[in-house]
Amino acid sequence: MKKLLGIILGSFTIGAIYLSYNYITFDSKQLDFRKIENNSSYDEAVVHLSEAIQIQTISYDDHIDTTEFYKFIDFVKDVYPHTFQKTSHQLLGGLSMLFTWQGSDPSLKPIILMSHYDVVPVPEGNLPKWKQPPFEGKIVDGFIWGRGAIDDKVGVIGILEAIEGMIKNGYQPKRTIYLSFGHDEEVMGNNGAKQIAHFLKQKGVKAEFVLDEGGYLTDGLVPGMEKQVALIGTTEKGFVTLELSTEIEGGHASMPKKETAVDVIAKALVAVHDNPFPSHISKPLNDFIEHVGPEMPFALKTVFANSNLLEPVLMAVYEKGPSSNALVRTTVAPTIVEAGVKNNVLPTQARAVLNIRILPGETVESVTSAIKNTLNDDRIKIQILERSNPPAVSNPKHPAYKMLDQSIREVFGEVVVSPYIMIAASDSRYFTGISENVLRFCPFTLNKENIKSFHGINEKIGVEEFKNSIQFYERVIKNAEEL
């Protein structure tokens, strides 16, 4: 008995030493840069974003009003004359804008700043819920209201304001700067950013880095963190849209068969729900752990420092919320279910559509195969409607990432900066063949309130936050010169 007790105590001691050692050596990866005060007013820029929101560049699934898109292009020409004078510019894919600001040193790799100016529709039934009209760009209570305020006319206008101001002040970049503004990001970007990326690739462009939307300055969104955390997307989840369909003999509803087409699809959805993809620590999540973990309170820092040993504990924490759960597993969401045309007729056909967001390390093929195995029903036909594998993961140790880290701190001050996995899809995925450093960051704050306004109700951005975004893009352009 004493021997057993000794073994237990010895094992406990060794375990405690191991955990303590990992905690002590879990060093901070935060850089030391100070906030740079900016005396620029940017008051006209606020009006320009308001005006941009008023132009209804809406991407519907099956059509767009090209008049509004051309109106936006004309607006950009009118408001940013110096940018048009100093850059070459062209339309690709019909309505997407590509600007080239030629650098003075052709030996340096160019950089690419991206955004998109299309927005999602506002359902008519939601209009009464908006505190301010979605397409009037009203400036009320210190906010600029309307569709596109944070997704993503703030990016387009923020970049253009920075460029216009720098040109006015006589700035000449060493590196060539490309500006890519897509017109169809909300509907896959096939005619916009994809065409721009193809054009640049055909020209042989190899960029030092690409910066698109995606990461954010977060407040209260990272479990366990009291400080604000600036999340830089070093990759994003892939996606596949699967249609599940079945066809079974129907009949009169008064004589239901043992199993109908509806039953088959319903059971399939239950099977998918009850068999989620496993949660685990992927490569980009491990990068997140290494950057955020050392800044955590004692208990969570201990877990993060020993994530290889305490992975189940860490997964339990992150599986609690929808946004954090999406960081640790491939997710499946049924979005469409269809069957039947009359209440007394058994439908012969039924279908469901699954929206699957794929964690880096998995593929469209592996995920589709897993769903097929889960269903294990030959009566169900599986068809891929849309697909995109997860893009490569950018290296947070690369100077381009560190430059972006520096730029964030120079504008927002003492925040925690960390790489992370963007859980949605962006136009940047088309640019991985142009640069190994594809980064994603939007220079404004997301919290538990305004995160709901993405594609939702009462989208708005603070006036001061928008002004900070302009300063941020100025810092990125200037700091990129030193890479």
Q: pTM of the entire structure?
A: 0.93
Percent of the chain surpassing pLDDT 90: 84
- pLDDT at residue 15 tops 70: no
Quote the pLDDT of residue 8: 56
Quote the pLDDT of residue 230: 98
- pLDDT at residue 253 tops 90: no
Residue 185 is a catalytic residue: yes
Residue 249 is a catalytic residue: no
Q: Which of 6-10, 210-214, 275-279 has the lowest mean pLDDT?
A: 6-10
pLDDT in tens, 165-201: 999 999 999 999 999 999 999 999 999 999 999 999 9
Quote the pLDDT of residue 59: 97
Q: What is the DSSP letter of 23?
A: H
Q: Which residue has the tokens 């439908």?
A: 347
* Domain residue extents for the chain: 43-224+392-480, 235-388
- pLDDT at residue 13 tops 80: no
- pLDDT at residue 18 tops 90: no
Handedness of CA 277, 335, 271, 351 (dihedral sign): negative
Q: Select which of 151, 164, 184, 185 is catalytic.
A: 185
CA distance 144 to 139: 5
What are the start-end ranges of the H helices in 340-398?
A: 364-375
What DSSP string describes 133-186?
A: -TTS--EETTEEESTTTTTTHHHHHHHHHHHHHHHHTT---SS-EEEEEES-GG
Predicted confidence band at 12 (pLDDT cuts at 50, 70, 90)?
low
Topology given in CATH for the domain delimited by 235-388: Alpha-Beta Plaits (3.30.70)
pLDDT in tens, 394-452: 999 999 999 999 999 999 999 999 999 999 999 999 999 999 999 999 999 999 888 88
Residues 6 or more apart whose CB falls under 8 angstroms from that of 432 comprise: 391, 392, 438
Q: What is the DSSP letter of 252?
A: E
Quote the pLDDT of residue 85: 97
- Determine how many CB atoms are found less than 10 A away from the CB of residue 327: 23
- Determine how many CB atoms are found less than 10 A away from the CB of residue 198: 15
Q: Select which of 118, 184, 186, 427 is catalytic.
A: 118
CA-wise closest residue to 471 among 405, 408, 415 = 408
Q: What is the DSSP letter of 208?
A: S
Quote the pLDDT of residue 1: 58
Predicted confidence band at 4 (pLDDT cuts at 50, 70, 90)?
low
- pLDDT at residue 359 tops 60: yes
- Determine how many CB atoms are found less than 10 A away from the CB of residue 447: 14
Predicted confidence band at 10 (pLDDT cuts at 50, 70, 90)?
low
* Chain Cα centroid distance, residue 308: 27
Quote the pLDDT of residue 39: 82
Q: Which of 46-60, 101-115, 358-372, 439-453 has the lowest mean pLDDT?
A: 439-453
Residues 6 or more apart whose CB falls under 8 angstroms from that of 151 comprise: 119, 120, 213, 454, 455, 459
- pLDDT at residue 460 tops 90: yes
CATH fourth-level superfamily of 43-224+392-480: Zn peptidases (3.40.630.10)
Torsion angle defined by CA atoms of residues 292, 295, 299 and 300, in that order, rounded to the nearest 10 degrees: -10
CA-wise closest residue to 336 among 355, 356, 353 = 353
Quote the pLDDT of residue 323: 82
Q: Which of 9-23, 39-53, 76-90, 128-142 has the lowest mean pLDDT?
A: 9-23
- pLDDT at residue 309 tops 70: yes
* Greater model confidence, 21 or 97: 97
Quote the pLDDT of residue 9: 59
Quote the pLDDT of residue 318: 87
Quote the pLDDT of residue 5: 57
CA distance 257 to 369: 30
Coil, helix or strand at residue 439: strand
pLDDT in tens, 268-306: 999 999 999 999 999 999 999 999 999 999 988 998 999
pLDDT in tens, 361-397: 999 999 999 999 999 999 999 999 999 999 999 999 9
Quote the pLDDT of residue 324: 86
Q: Which helix (H) or strand (E) holds 287?
A: helix 283-292
- The conformational region for residue 59 under phi > 0 = left, psi -120 to 50 = alpha, else beta, is beta
Quote the pLDDT of residue 328: 95
* Greater model confidence, 322 or 108: 108
CA distance 291 to 285: 10
CA distance 351 to 248: 12
Cβ pair 211, 145 in contact under 8 A: no
